[in-house]
Amino acid sequence: MQSASPNPHRTHYHVAPTGHDHWPGDETHPFRTISHAARIAMPGDEVIVHAGEYREQVDPRNGGTGPSNRIVYRAAYGERPVIKGSERISSWVPEGSGVWSATLPNTMFGSFNPYARAVEGDWLMDPDFRVRQRHLGAVYLNGRALYEADDADHVSTPQRRTETIDYATGLTEPIADPDWTTYVWYATVDDETGTTTIRANFHDTDPNTTLTEINVRESCFWPSQTNVNWITVRGFEMAQAAGRWSPPTGDQRGMIGPNWSHGWIIENNLLHDAKCSAICLGKTAATGDNERYRSNLRSGYQCQMEAVFRALRLGWRKGIVGSHIVRGNVIRDCGQNGVVGHMGAAFSVIEHNDIARIGILREFFGWEIAGIKLHAGVDATVRGNRIHECTLGMWSDWQTQGMRITGNVFHDNTRDLMIEISHGPYLVDNNVFASPLALINASQGGAYVNNLFAGAVQRYDDLTRSTPYHFPHTTDVAGTACVYGGDDRWIGNLFIKPDDIRVPKPNPTPWLFGTASYNGLPSSEEEYTDTVAALGPCDEETLRDLPQPAIVHHNAYLNGAQPMAGERDTIIADGGTVTLTGEPDSVDLTITLNVPGTVANRTAPVIATADLGMPRIVQEPFESPDGLPITIDTDVQGADRNPEHSAMGPFATLHSGRNEFTLTFAH
């Protein structure tokens, strides 16, 4: 519940593994659990947590009353407390051939037994399209998750896997450590005896003398009530939570999140090994909970549409829900998302995070997996993040309106960015896209300015789903429309086709390099409006089949990348390479570009709101969330763009030959 009034006396509560919850909670007499502090902390208070391990699910009872009167949960300076959703198990019994078993009382799980709960819900699909359940539980050996076996027999005879497949593209990827795929577990829950038995193949390792943990709790930091506002969580490590599958029609939960609240700051944390999602900024069951999966009477599309209107009745608007800040976090090894959220991420800022290895175990597959997966991220800003080694880097789905995706680096993902079923305006600028499939554009009303695309671009229309759009800078729905395709702007981008690209075959939507997918569309708004005028009075059935314009100019295409036919002020040149160096868990990333002089010596215009017009359906300018104009006069490093010589792509200056740039991310 939300506290009614601020605390007149700021209190600093301390928590340490050596403490006791009956103590007063000062620095010399700290509490033992964060949960105890969370029950009594009031607006303005600070909960300082010292190094150590905290196996608990923190449920903050109160929130702050405003940005200057928060409740702050932070790590003690120079220390890294760890909150885990798991428990250590040291009662394993050997069965032979590397297999051990542990029989545990169901009471240790309380009302939530992750080994009795399947990964299930809307838009979840089995990897091999057979009935094969996976569960929310997991077993960890020295912090590394084991694979869940198909059945009890496969624990004794696990099958070694050498490659995995991305079911969205059909591309296969080699597994870095095939031997680890034979470290497996399987659980049986017996309600009659009130026990859960876990069998696991640890090979030559004794799990009783090695750190062996199992999932027990659904979250690490999650309020059980909604509207617990103005909370800061800073400097923690959180791991091994058994969070549920979180589609946009479900009761979305993560290892940490605000649970339909306002004004949270989640910063400078290390978050890893969430079964599904690390940070959740999403919706609750009150707006619908997997009705398509549960009843199969209505389509998921219809259920998702209903969720939007239910949320509006429950207070989905600025100042009530959203406006969070997620920054400086390192997020690793989660099954579904690094950050997820339907509607609850509106008006939020997600910046300077390092997100990697999301969904790569591929134990389960569905259409909601990405490093960042947002639905209805109205006026959200995603900037300065490094997203890599994921099945999909970022996926912005439905109602991508007023969003700005700027200054991010995507690399070594199977796919980098997908924008789906949205009408804009949204702005994608100063990003590096360096994975095989750089962009899937199933939307309209976007502006792509000063980006580097070192991968393929897919584009398609969708006339089957009419989705909402909003009055500017609000969540109020102004109407619904299908995605007719086009109505995009591409200015000042640098396209470089890689030499060793792998394109899946057969492939119904072509992988093209450059803007050639816009061939055949009108090249100006005037051409489109003249065509409409010539048709005379007409309605939806006519406009639906009329191609919308694509405004494409001042782009550079290297090494075989192709422009839109008839594009003006373009450069087409031979050569051009992109190289990225930096370890997965390092701080710095170096980007090396080789460009010919024809690119280095060419100037792209500095683009501002007035240059981009307005998307046809929404009729809202490309502007900042506060309604002010935008000028893209700096590059990905923050360097000024000189209007008289601004390079194409995300770096303001280029010279012929080798250019090296080093970017620093969260650590």
Least confident window among 74-88, 387-401, 530-544: 530-544
Cα atoms in the Cβ-side hemisphere of radius 13 Å centred on 2:
18
Under the banding of pLDDT at 50, 70 and 90, the label for residue 171 is confident
Question: Domain-by-domain residue ranges, the chain?
Answer: 1-83, 86-215
**Would the pLDDT of 449 be above 90?**
yes
Amino acid letter for position 645: H
Which H or E run contains 82? strand 81-84
pLDDT tens digits for range 596-644: 999 998 999 999 999 999 999 999 999 999 999 999 999 999 999 999 8
- Among the listed residues 50, 7, 195, 206, the one whose alpha carbon sits nearest the alpha carbon of residue 113: 195
Assigned CATH topology for domain 86-215: Immunoglobulin-like (2.60.40)
Partner residues linked to 165 by β-bridges:
172
Position 238 scores a pLDDT of 98
- pLDDT class for 127, splitting at 50, 70, 90? low
CB-count exposure of residue 187 (10 Å: 0-12, 13-18, 19+): buried
DSSP 182: G
pTM of the predicted structure, to 2 decimals = 0.96
Q: At 94, is the pLDDT very low, low, confident or very high (cuts 50, 70, 90)? A: very high
* pLDDT tens sequence across 30-59: 999 999 999 999 999 999 999 999 999 999
Residue 126 pLDDT > 70: no
Q: How confident is the model at residue 505 (pLDDT cuts 50, 70, 90)?
A: low
Mean per-residue pLDDT for 404-424?
A: 96
Q: Would you give the distance in Å from CA 650 to the centre of its chain?
A: 22
Average pLDDT over residues 135-152: 96
pLDDT at 5: 47
DSSP state of 244: P
